[in-house]
Every structure is written in structure tokens, then in C-alpha cells.
Chains A and B, each alone.
Chain A
Amino acid sequence: MSEALDLSLRAQAAAIAAGEVDAAELLEAALARIEARNPAINAVVATFPEHSREMLAAAPAGPLHGVPVVVKDEWPLPWRAQRFGAADMLVTPVPGESGPYRALRDAGAVIVGVGNMHELGASSTGNVSVYGPARNPWNPERCPGGSSSGPAAAVAARLVAGAVGADGIGSIRYPAAYCGLTGLKPTFGRSAMAGHHMADISTTIVSGPLCADAGDCRLLGSVLFGEELRAGEAQGLRIGVIRDEVSEDVAPAVREACEAAIEDLRRENGGEVREIDLPELAAATLATVLIANSESLGGVTPQRLNDLAPELSPLGRGLLKYRLMLPAAATVKAHQVRTMARQRLAEVFADVDVIAWPTVPAVAPPLEAPIVELPSGTLTADAANVRGGALANLTGIPSISVPVGSSEGLPVALQLQAAWGHDELLLDAAEALERANGRRWVDAAPPMARAEPSEA
């Protein structure tokens, strides 16, 4: 039965629906595989076999009937409150039926585990967590990406074929890139968000799928959106590229792979590449950080900050306290920059269908020292990654990360962004890219994901 775990999400669903795979056996196989493979990567931080079996027993005949999935430690479940990867949060988490939980339950899916995440969702690396860091299945000494570190590592290691993450500033796309997956950050407000502890105040966070390829993201995304994300052709795609640090201050191997992928995509669809200009991009990056970090301040008091649990990392404690010092005038400016960026993008998307640049400028850095070497010099991975990841969260547009190459034995990824509501077009474009490169990169699996006889 463990072979069925290596099938795509949609193939697992189809095999169960056709009676070719027994869902109960698949669930037990998934639990066994987590037990066998997870110690090396710490992707899954909680399993609850009885709850999973109960979900399966009650599962309706939906599009994911009987298919095991993982959800990030950012989403409450009826039997488990989220921990947000942290020993302490600014709010008190409670168990409950989050939007993603309901969507998965109603689709017949079986939640088999909770995925690790970077503490408080505060980094693109995944190297700090109350559970200890998740590790990259391609190289356990490297960062899996964050903050949806565990969901990405779990899918890359083929513990499950699909996982639900959350993306407030790139937190689905960075781990998708580092782990060689396809990750969709939906248009703001389009995917299930209820029950998130910041659902009523965040203007950047969305739920979204992390899967091996675009077809699986289409299926899991349809469940999270509550509507079918129909497939199209993306013919004559107009691809916008930018000559800026986001595409040029990039490791040479990443730049080469992404430029080749853009050319592949253009050729596959009979499209064209057009240069675009986004002068607001640098300011937009800071604006996103300011807005995202100030939105959680409503419940903060000095006393609450003095009472933070000592088990919270010094990094987490220091950054929470630093948020108090962000000047209000800068946050007001950030909202003006948001307006400017949205207006600019509306103009840009009249001329192009998608904007393409590397998801992250370098492959996954070491867990112990998450820094990257770029043409401009050495940067922290966070400072480098946010340049390319923030715009979609600031403006609300959808974005997808697609694997397009390999360097140092680690995945390289291209990011595509589209106009508001055009999530389906991103999936179409990602599928076109898969066709163009013969699925070379979406079908690549890390060594640890190769089935072992003892797991059969």
C-alpha cells in the first residue's frame, strides 16, 4: 500500500474512488510512513490516528475522499489548537473548526498530521520552531523554507501528496521553492480563512495548497476555494519580466534556470516576453513587512510582552518587542505604497498576463546559518527572499511557485504572479511549464522519498 502514497493527490483520489485503493489501508500506510521517515525531517509534529480514522469513517464522497493530507500548525482543528510553531502567542489559541478543516472534511479528506512551521510565522527559513526545525528532504542540513516548513517537507518526502499552508509574506512559496514543490498563494480572500487567529485583522494571510505539481494544487486549491478551479490553455501568454534586483541580484544558477524556464513557457504557449517596470517594488517590500507586523499589535500590551514565555526563542521575543517601535507614520506611508503598487499592477496587467521572477534568489541555505551569497554580497535568506515574495501579499494578487531546476542538489523555483482572481491562469501556466520541460522538475523526488522495502 505504501506505493499508493507515491501517487499524486489526484491519482490517490481517483484510485480510491475506483476501488483500486482501500482508503483505510492508505491511512495506515501514511501513518507508518510518517513514523518511518519523519524523524529525519521533523515535518509532522502531531499525529492523531483515532481522529484521522474517525474522519475517514465519516468522510463524504467528495473530491478528496479518503486521501491523507497534512495541515500547517497555523490552523486549529476540533481536537487540537494551533501552536503557531511557538511556545507562546499573543492570543490564546483554541481548538475549533477552521476553514481549511471544514473544506477538507467536506471534501472527504483525512487529516493525518499537523505540519511544523517557523516560530510565529516569522521567517522564510523554517529553522526555528518550538518543535525544533523541520529539515529539507533534499538535504536535511538545509532549510526547508518557511513559514510553512513542515507541510512542504512532508509533501517533498512523500509522507502525503498534499498539504495546506498559509502565506502572509511568501510562507507557502518559499518552502515550495526550497523543497521542489508547487505552491499556490491564492488571491486574497478567495481561499478558506475562517478560524485563523488573525482572520479578522490580517490583510496579507491566505491559506493555500502545497503539492508536487500544478494539477494537485488545482485539486486541493478547488477544495480550499470551495469552487472548481477550471483548467484552461494559457495560449499566447504575455509574460512580464522586470530588470531589477528581484530578477538580477540572484545566484547565477538560479538566474539561468529561471530565464530558461521563462523561455520554455513562452515557447510552449506561443506567447511573448515583455519587460515591465515596477518602481514601487522596493518600497512595497518594506510596506508589506510593516503592515503585516503592525496588524497583530492590537492585542499587545507592554505587560503582555513582559510576560512572554521564556520558552519562546530570544529571536521571537526580541522581534515581538521590536514591533512596538515601528513608527506609525511609516505604517501610514505603507498603506499609501500599497495603493500605489495596486494601481501600478492594474496597469501592468493590462499589458501582460503573468509576471515572472525567481521565487527565491538562491537555493535553500544551511539550517545553522541561513544566509545566501548573491552578486551584491552576503544577505540573510529572509532579507533576500522577501524582495520577491512580498508584493503578492501587499496587493492581494495570486502567485505560484513552480520548480524549474536544480543547483547543488537543491531545487530552483520560478514565481508567476497574475491579476486578481486569475489563480486558474497561474495553474494553467504552471501546467504548461511542466509540459515544456517534460515534468522533469515536478516529478523529481529527494533520495529519502524513494520507497523502502521495509515500508511496503
Chain B
Amino acid sequence: MEASNPADDFIPAALAAFGVEADEIELAVMRAAHELFWPPILELLALDTGAVAPEPAPDLSQAPPSR
């Protein structure tokens, strides 16, 4: 039996949970986006950033304060 694409389950389920409707073309777009974005999202989630405290309100016009 062929393994199903996770996006085939995830996207319709997520849309249903949010109460958002989508036609077949939109679903195809979302599947393509999911294939592109989800693997790096999982990599990002696996990144150990525990020691990094985000700048609370970064002033992006300047360098960050010295550590």
C-alpha cells in the first residue's frame, strides 16, 4: 500500500478545524506550500535555541545590544 502524503490529511483537517473552506485549486496550492515549507519548519522546531532569549522589542534600525 502506498504511503499517503501527510499534507493530504493535515490540510483538510486543519481547514475543517478553522472552519475555512477551500476549492480544489486552493487545496493544491496549499499542498505545494506545505511540501515546500513543512520540512524546514520541522528542522527549525528541532533547532536547539533554548539559550537564546529573543530581543523583546528589537530596534531593527540598529545593531543588537552587546551580549
Contact = CB atoms under 8 A, between A and B. Distances in A.
Given A318-B29, A324-B20, A336 B49 contact: yes
B6 interface: no
B20 A302 contact: yes
Contacts of A334: 44
B31 to A, nearest CB: 9
A339 B52 contact: yes
B41 A322 contact: no
A456 interface: no
B27 A330 contact: no
A409 to B, nearest CB: 30
A372 to B, nearest CB: 15
A314 B25 contact: yes
A327 B45 contact: yes
Contact of B61 (A318, A322, A336, A421): A421
A318 B64 contact: no
Contacts of A189: 59-61
Contact of B63 (A289, A338, A346): A346
A337 B41 contact: no
B26 A314 contact: yes
B3 interface: no
Among A322, A336, A342, find the residue whose CB has the most chain B CB atoms closer than 10 A. A322
B47 A314 contact: no
B64 A336 contact: no
A287 interface: yes
A283 B61 contact: no
Given A325-B11, A336-B54, A319 B49 contact: no
A40 interface: no
Given A189-B60, A343-B64, A322 B33 contact: yes
B5 to A, nearest CB: 15
Question: What's the dominant secondary structure at chain A's contact region?
Answer: helix
B53 interface: yes
A287 B20 contact: no
Contact of A342 (B25, B27, B28, B64): B64
Contact of A339 (B14, B30, B54, B61): B54
A421 B25 CA distance: 44
A318 B58 contact: no
B44 A333 contact: yes
Contacts of B11: 322, 325
Nearest to B13: A325
A330 B44 contact: yes
A330 B45 contact: yes
Contacts of A314: 23, 25-26, 29
Given A189-B60, A322-B33, A333-B47, A317 B26 contact: yes
Nearest to B67: A343
Given A283-B47, A318-B28, A321-B22, A342 B15 contact: no
B44 A321 contact: no
Interface string B9-41: 011001100111111011111100110110011
B2 interface: no
B66 to A, nearest CB: 8
Contacts of B23: 314
A318 B33 contact: yes
A369 interface: no
Given A319-B33, A336-B52, A342-B55, A395 B60 contact: yes
Given A190-B61, A333-B45, A336-B54, A289 B37 contact: yes
Given A305-B20, A317-B22, A325-B34, 15 more contacts: A187-B61, A203-B58, A283-B47, A286-B40, A314-B23, A314-B25, A319-B29, A325-B14, A329-B45, A332-B54, A336-B52, A336-B53, A336-B54, A339-B58, A396-B58
Q: Considering the complex of A and B, which 5 residue pairs feature the smallest CB-CB distances, nearest first?
A: A318-B29, A396-B60, A188-B60, A189-B61, A314-B25
Interface of B: 10-11, 14-15, 18-23, 25-30, 33-34, 36-37, 40-41, 43-45, 47, 49, 52-55, 58-64, 66-67
22 contacts: A189-B59, A282-B40, A287-B44, A306-B19, A306-B20, A314-B26, A315-B29, A317-B26, A317-B29, A318-B26, A319-B33, A324-B18, A326-B41, A327-B45, A333-B47, A337-B49, A338-B58, A339-B54, A340-B52, A349-B63, A383-B36, A420-B61
